[in-house]
Each structure stands twice: as C-alpha cells, then as structure tokens.
Amino acid sequence: MTQAPTFAVVGHPNKGKSSVVATLSQNDAIAIALEPGTTRKHQAYPLKVDGQTLYTLVDTPGFQRPRRVLEWLEAHSVSASDHADTVRSFVTQHRGDGRFTDECELLTPLLDGAGIIYVVDGSVPYSAEHEAEMTILRWTGRPSLALINSIGAEDYSDTWQAALGQFFQVVRRFDAVRAPFEQHLGLLRAFGQLEPAWESPLEQATHFLSDQQNRRRRQAAALIGRTLEDMMSFREKRTLTASQAAETSDGSLAEQLRQSWYRHQRQREQSLRVDIEHLYQHQRIRRQEAELAWHSEHDLFSENSRKAWAVSKRYLATAGFGAGAVSGAGIDALTLGSSLGTGALVGGLIGAAGSYFYGDRLALPALNIGVLRDGLQTATFGPVQDSQFGYVVLGRAINHWWHISHRNHAGRDLLDLEPAGHHWLENLDKASRQDIQRAFDKCRKRRSPDERQREKFNAAIERSMAVYDNWRLNRT
C-alpha cells in the first residue's frame, strides 16, 4: 500500500471539528466539549487496521483572526501563483506571535501536505465572516472538501451548500454523531477523486474498513456464543462437611448459592458488554441500563425481561422439535434405520415438549443436594434448565451489539439499551433456529458443543445479528 494520506480538519471554533475527527479515526478518547478552545494544538490521529495505517486525521484549533490573516496575505502576494508560498511565509513569520497561534497551528499540517476537511455548523445561518477562512484555505492549494455538520435543530444547509460550493471541490452533509458507516466510506472515495495520488490508497482503505466490519461481526458472534455457553451451563457448587450440612437449612443454602450463581451471570454478561465495546474500539462508553438486581422489574428473570426478549411458545416448539429430532436421529443410525425414523420423531417430540413447557415463564434452577459420602456433601445450583434464559441473554447481547456497531466514536450520550419491542427471531431461518436450540440443550446438560457444533452455533448467532440489523434499520 502506498503512503497513507493525511487530512486536516479545520474550521471555525466549536463547529464539530473534533467530532468529525473522532468518528473518522474511530477514537472516542478525543475531547469534545461545547465551549470553544478545547483544541489548542494540532494533533494527528491515525486510523489503523491490523497494524496498517489507512489514513490520518489531524485535529486543529479553530480560526480566531481570519480577516487579519487574509489582509496580511493579500498585502504580501504578487499574483495567484505565489499564494501557497505566501501562506508559508505567514506561518514562518508569525509562529511565535500569540495573536495568530491558532492560525499557525491549523495551517501547518496543510503546508506539510494534508488535505482539507472544512467543517461548518449547518444549524446556524451562513455568514460572510467565514469567507475569509475559506479564502485562506483556497490559497494553500490543497485538495479540499467541506462538511456541513449540523449540531442544532435548525437547518440552513441549502444556504451553506451554495456558498461552500464556490470554494470547495466537494461539499457533503455529514452528521459526525449519527452518520452511517457507508457515509464514512463515501467521504474517502470523494477524496480519492480529488487527488490522483490518493485514489488507490483510499480505495484500499474502503476495502480494509468494509472487511473489518464483517470480521468484527463474526468476532462478536463468537463472543456472544461463548458467553451463552458459559451462562447456560454454569453451576454453582458448594462442598459441605457433615457438621456444616447439619447446621445449614436447605432454604438458606439455596439462597446463598442462588445469589452466588446470579452474581456470576451478571458479571459474565457485563464482561461481554465490555468485550464487544472494545472490539469496536469504544473504550469509554457510559451505559444507561437498569441494574440487574434480584426482585427488580429489570432482572434477567423478571416478567419484563421475558416479555422483551423471550421467544414465543410456538417458536420454542418448532425449534425444539428440530433440535430434538436431530438428537433422536442418532438412535436410527445406531439401529441402521430399523427404527424407521422413530428415534427422530420421539426426540423431536421430547424436544418440543420440553421447550414448550418453559415457554411462558423464566424458571430458576433448582437446588440439588447430593448424598453424604466420606463425610462430605455436595450442593449445586444450576445449570439453568429453561431455554428462555438463553433467548433473553441472546436478545440482550445482540441488542447491545447493534447499538455499539452503529455508534460513531463522536457520540458522548449515554448508551440506552431499550428493549426491541418485537421478537425479530421470528424472521430467522429454520435451520439457524434449530442450531441455537440444539446448543442451548447441550449447555443445559453441561455438554460442551464440539468444534463443528460451535461453528454452526456461532454462524446461527451471526445470522440472528443480520436479521436484527435489518429489522432495526427497517424501523427507521
């Protein structure tokens, strides 16, 4: 890959420059504030994929005295042919001048070869005071692109579009907080058309980023699959001496184990949240999600959680029948077909009945106390026997993934993981439903799926993510 291009993001103070840099560089550590002057020095933020720098964004201070700068440039220029050299002379002569510190900082990367991304706020009216800024930028002779990033509710984009078009080769509307991923790629392609030397590296960059999105989805599906295996099969275990067993009532022991079992489930889900966020390079997410406490309406086993994320009894019956039928087919294979499919039929009926039984509620595991042996007695709580628990965890995980995968790195609002309101899994293909149910059944029996089964399980989760993605996008 040839040298990666560099883009300097410039403009008036407090118009969303840092937000654009954060989104396009996938870096949520960049400071974004409402007051002017948050950025005082130009700073480079490379976007890397697999160690390869695709391009670099430079965050810059805002213009402070553009009219004074333009007056100096016009006074020291002889013809249009020396405009770029005149800008360089201005920076050289005024680098230590406190009056023009910000202008020198923002012009330096342009003189070093960066392209221009000029950012304006389309929610405020266009004013002629910006023409001095745009004229200065045009004097640099660098490839330029203007972004209308509307921060407020008003919309003056049409006026801005007409004015910016007189100074910049490309003008785009771009909401740094909400722009979809396809718009990011569109900006890269637009810049590739402005500078021939950048066309090839930016085309490669769009391929790298598209591949990264697909790879992240597969990795997220694998993370969710491993979490589901752990949470569905987890068993809290306590070994007691004979004296301890005699002093402990079944009720108090069950409560202790239940609380410990629940803490594990909560921590495991939260660690999945963090893993998914870091996978998408979100390091500083603040989530607005109800705490998962016992006796709460938002508890994993609450009626509200079941209504939001559990699947229908009909869904469970059909998925359970398919999963059970595959298990029962083993009986037919062992009898070389002499059972005439009876094994598959019986297995399917058992699977459907078991899934249907738990279809209208979420059920806790039961306490199991073993026999006293060699002076010791073992008490266990779990694994969960209710497949609906798996569907609740799956729904919550995919909902969280969707918000993270569509969240730009300029976003600073609380992440609100509201329930979906409709069960999108109804749109999942039959084979994927059965692969998910089959994995849940194995986990409930504390049998780890083999590598092939795990691959099918993860692939089914990935298809579930695609179904959810389509469903959410169709809602908007």
d(CA 87, CA 59): 19
Residue 242 or 361, more confident? 242
Domains, the chain, with CATH or none: 6-194 (3.40.50.300), 215-312+359-475 (no CATH)
Please determine, for residue 374, whether its predicted confidence score (pLDDT) is greater than 70.
yes
Q: Which residue matches tokens 């900082």? A: 105
Q: 10 Å Cβ neighbour count for 293?
A: 11
Please determine, for residue 340, whether its predicted confidence score (pLDDT) is greater than 60.
no
Please determine, for residue 145, whether its predicted confidence score (pLDDT) is greater than 60.
yes
Residue 310 or 148, more confident? 148
At 89 the pLDDT is: 97
d(CA 257, CA 248): 12
At 104 the pLDDT is: 96
Calculate mean pLDDT across residues 137-150: 95
Indicate the range of 34-43, 130-139, 199-208, 243-252 predicted with least confidence: 34-43
Whether the CB-CB separation of 355 and 316 falls below 8 Å is answered with yes
- In 3-state terms, what secondary structure has residue 408? coil
At 349 the pLDDT is: 38
Please compute, for residue 118, the number of CA atoms within 13 A of its CA located in the half-sphere on the CB side: 28
Residue 48's identity, in one-letter code, is: K
Q: Where are the alpha helices (DSSP H) in 156-280?
A: 157-164, 181-194, 196-233, 242-247, 250-279
End-to-end CA distance of the chain: 38
Residue 29's identity, in one-letter code, is: A
Whether the CB-CB separation of 328 and 347 falls below 8 Å is answered with yes
The tokens for 68 are 């004074």
Q: State the pLDDT confidence band at 33, using cuts at 50, 70 and 90.
A: low
Whether the CB-CB separation of 467 and 385 falls below 8 Å is answered with no
Indicate the range of 18-22, 365-369, 453-457 predicted with least confidence: 365-369
Indicate the range of 118-132, 138-152, 337-351 predicted with least confidence: 337-351
Q: Using one digit for the tens of pLDDT, what is the confidence trace for 420-429?
A: 656 788 889 9
Whether the CB-CB separation of 176 and 20 falls below 8 Å is answered with yes
**In terms of Cα–Cα distance, which of 43, 40, 38 is closest to 25?**
43
Q: State the pLDDT confidence band at 330, using cuts at 50, 70 and 90.
A: very low
Q: State the pLDDT confidence band at 39, using cuts at 50, 70 and 90.
A: low
d(CA 442, CA 363): 18
Residue 330 or 193, more confident? 193
Indicate the range of 131-135, 180-184, 286-290, 402-406 predicted with least confidence: 286-290
Cross-strand bridge partners of residue 145: 117, 170
Q: State the pLDDT confidence band at 14, using cuts at 50, 70 and 90.
A: confident
d(CA 6, CA 53): 10
At 366 the pLDDT is: 77
At 351 the pLDDT is: 41
The tokens for 41 are 């020095």
The DSSP code sequence of 42-109 is -EEEEEEETTEEEEEEEE-PPPS-HHHHHHHHHHH-SSGGGHHHHHHHHHHHHTT-GGGHHHHHHHHH
Q: Using one digit for the tens of pLDDT, what is the confidence trace for 256-294?
A: 888 899 889 989 999 999 999 999 999 988 876 544 444
d(CA 105, CA 97): 11
Cross-strand bridge partners of residue 373: 376
Indicate the range of 262-271, 296-305, 385-394 predicted with least confidence: 296-305
To the nearest whole percent, how much of the chain has pLDDT over 90?
A: 56
d(CA 228, CA 234): 10
**In terms of Cα–Cα distance, which of 154, 218, 259, 253 is closest to 405?**
218
At 342 the pLDDT is: 42
Please determine, for residue 384, whether its predicted confidence score (pLDDT) is greater than 80.
yes
At 292 the pLDDT is: 44
At 321 the pLDDT is: 59
**pLDDT, mean over the chain:** 84
Q: Which residue matches tokens 């012009």? A: 107
Using the 8-state DSSP alphabet, how is residue 1 labeled?
-
Calculate mean pLDDT across residues 327-331: 43
Using the 8-state DSSP alphabet, how is residue 450 labeled?
-
Q: Using one digit for the tens of pLDDT, what is the confidence trace for 78-130?
A: 999 999 999 999 999 999 899 999 999 999 999 999 999 999 999 999 988 89
Residue 297 or 167, more confident? 167
CA distances for 301 relative to 102, 181, 260, 384, angstroms: 56, 35, 15, 11
Whether the CB-CB separation of 424 and 467 falls below 8 Å is answered with yes
Please determine, for residue 336, whether its predicted confidence score (pLDDT) is greater than 60.
no
The tokens for 425 are 């899994």
d(CA 77, CA 89): 10
d(CA 226, CA 236): 18
